């Protein structure tokens, strides 16, 4: 499973990218608002830091303008993926942009039927929002397995990009279910490595090693 970061904190994204752990980044208008920065500048900086896909979302709601914005965003860097909402207009724009060879991520996916349409429209990625489904007392991760089954039935090449991840358990469930990508908020990503037994074990090993009086280098 590829790991994307869902956010725009340049320093942290660079840090984890330098560790070789990050395959891409996703953003959305709320993330851009929170950053307080100019969208084009942020996207171009992110596209420099990571070599993989960087999703940049259009703001237009009609197909023609989505295409116009998508073409402009795609010119920021070669690794830009244009993010479009799953609406009829979004699907039309996806069809047009995909035919131009521009990578598209269909976002705000909450049903298997929407995911089917995204694949038919030629999307590179579809983003099922599992956390927001959980918020409605539904089992968000079930959508990942539904889409997985449908895509494998028909050998669609659209990648399942699990989004709206809220917990470490979501990451595990996505990996179990075979999501192609999980886009993870930076605070959740930072917690992936944490385990109290790792901390206590390391404290003990370090103390015991010091008692040996030895050194490796």
Report H helices in the chain: 10-18, 29-35, 39-49, 63-74, 88-99, 112-120, 130-134, 140-154, 168-177, 186-191, 196-212
Query: Is position 107 an interface residue for ligand E4P (rule: CB under 6 A)?
Result: yes
Identify any residues that bridge with 26 across adjacent strands, giving them in sequence order. Answer: 6, 55
Shortest approach of ligand E4P to residue 132 CB, angstroms? 5
| Residues paired with residue 109 on neighbouring β-strands, in sequence order | 128
For ligand E4P, which stretch binds (CB under 6 A), given 12-20, 61-69, 126-134, 198-206? 126-134
Q: Which of 65, 72, 83, 99 is catalytic?
A: 83
What is the Cα–Cα distance from 140 to 110, expressed in whole angstroms? 9
149-168 footprint of ligand E4P as x/- string (CB under 6 A): --------------xx----
Mark whether 83 is an active-site residue: yes
Contact between 129 and ligand E4P by CB under 6 A: the answer reads yes
With CB under 6 A as the contact rule, which of the stretches 17-25, 71-79, 125-133, 207-215 interacts with ligand E4P? 125-133
Answer for which of 3, 5, 6, 85 binds ligand E4P (CB under 6 A) is 6
User: Is residue 134 a contact residue for ligand E4P (CB under 6 A)?
Assistant: no
> If you write DSSP's letter for every residue of 46-103 in order, what string do you get?
HHHH-SS-EEEE----SHHHHHHHHHHHHTT-TTEEEEEESSHHHHHHHHHHHHTT--
> Which of the residues are catalytic?
83
User: What residues line the site for ligand E4P (CB under 6 A)?
Assistant: 6, 26, 28, 107, 127, 129, 131-132, 163-164, 183
């Amino acid at each position: 499973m590829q790991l994307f970061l869902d956010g725009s904190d340049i320093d942290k994204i660079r840090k984890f990218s330098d560790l070789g752990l990050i395959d891409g980044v996703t953003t959305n208008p709320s993330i851009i608002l929170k950053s307080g920065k100019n969208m084009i500048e942020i996207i171009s900086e992110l596209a420099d830091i990571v070599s993989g896909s960087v999703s940049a979302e259009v703001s237009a709601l009609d197909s023609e303008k989505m295409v116009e914005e998508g073409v402009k965003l795609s010119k920021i860097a070669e690794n830009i993926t244009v993010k479009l909402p799953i609406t009829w207009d979004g699907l039309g724009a996806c069809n047009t942009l995909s035919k131009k060879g521009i990578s598209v991520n269909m976002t705000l996916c909450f049903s298997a039927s929407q995911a089917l349409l995204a694949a038919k429209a030629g999307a590179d990625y579809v983003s099922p929002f599992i956390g927001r489904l959980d918020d409605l007392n539904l089992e968000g991760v079930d959508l990942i397995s539904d889409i997985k089954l449908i895509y494998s039935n028909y050998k669609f090449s659209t990648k399942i990009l699990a989004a709206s991840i809220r917990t470490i358990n979501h990451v595990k469930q996505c990996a179990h279910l075979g999501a192609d990508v999980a886009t993870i908020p930076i605070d959740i990503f930072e917690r992936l490595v944490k385990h109290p037994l790792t901390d206590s074990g390391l404290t003990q090993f370090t103390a015991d090693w010091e008692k040996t009086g030895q050194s490796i280098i």
